[in-house]
Amino acid sequence: MIENPSTTSVKILDKEYRISCPREEEASLHKAAHYLHDKMKEIKSGGKVIGLERIAVMAALNMSYELMQMKDSQFENNTDAQQQIQDMMGKLDQALTNLDS
């Protein structure tokens, strides 16, 4: 059973936001907010981007890029694993054929 949403607060760059989310997801929300805070703080301390909205957009772009890199890496790993499985199946087929001969 999914619980009714509760309201929790997160703080990002000294600004507090009240967000509604299911109780069982609060810990994940706080973890995500902390990660976003760190990314925005990093961009702000660089001094090249000014304004909260621009900092938020840059953080979102950086985080999107990180996510895409992870997905691409996962896809490559899955493709490599699938190729290894195909190679092993070919070797097994060949070994079974040799046994039948």
pLDDT tens for residues 69-80? 988 887 777 777
pLDDT top residue among 79 and 59: 59
The answer to pTM > 0.85 is: no
Phi-psi region of 12 (alpha: psi -120 to 50; beta: other; left: phi over 0): beta
Return the structure tokens found at 6.
């509760």
The whole-angstrom distance between residue 8's C-alpha and the CA centroid of its chain comes to 22
> In the chain, where are the structural domains located?
5-100
d(CA 5, CA 21): 5
pLDDT digits (tens, 9 = 90+) for 8-33: 999 999 999 999 999 999 999 999 99
Return the structure tokens found at 43.
């961009």
The whole-angstrom distance between residue 13's C-alpha and the CA centroid of its chain comes to 21
Closest CA to 52 of 63, 64, 43: 43
Q: What percent of the chain has pLDDT over 70?
A: 96
Query: In CATH terms, is domain 5-100 a member of 3.40.1180.10?
Result: no
